């Protein structure tokens, strides 16, 4: 079973994370439509927390300004 932390502000607008391995986390964020769904890998739990706090405070722009993301496959 996968363990996720998900923060959602409305339908299809969210940020979520799960641990990939002992040092790496996957972080995904979506800003509505499928073409606005991105993921990135983060190497430290405090950085994941910072990303989520920035996303809550400033929305999607705060994430894309600080971290490169890859669009998820449709």
Contact 45, 52 (CB under 8 A): no
Share of residues in the chain with pLDDT > 70 (%): 77
Q: Work out whether strand 70-71 and strand 25-31 pair parallel, antiparallel, or are unpaired.
A: unpaired
Residue whose C-alpha is closest to residue 67's, from 35, 34, 23, 25: 25
Confidence of residue 74 (pLDDT cuts 50, 70, 90): very low
3-state secondary structure of 17: strand
Rounded percentage of the chain residues whose pLDDT exceeds 90? 39
| CA distances from residue 53 to 20, 60, 70 in whole angstroms, order as listed | 21, 11, 20
* Residue listed under structure tokens 């002992």: 22
């Amino acid at each position: 079973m996968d363990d996720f932390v998900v923060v959602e502000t409305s339908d299809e607008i969210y940020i979520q994370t799960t641990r990939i391995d002992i040092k790496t986390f996957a972080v995904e964020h979506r800003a509505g439509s499928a073409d606005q769904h991105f993921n990135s890998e983060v190497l430290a739990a405090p950085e994941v927390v910072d990303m989520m706090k920035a996303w809550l405070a400033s929305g999607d722009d705060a994430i894309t300004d600080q971290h490169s993301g890859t669009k998820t496959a449709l």
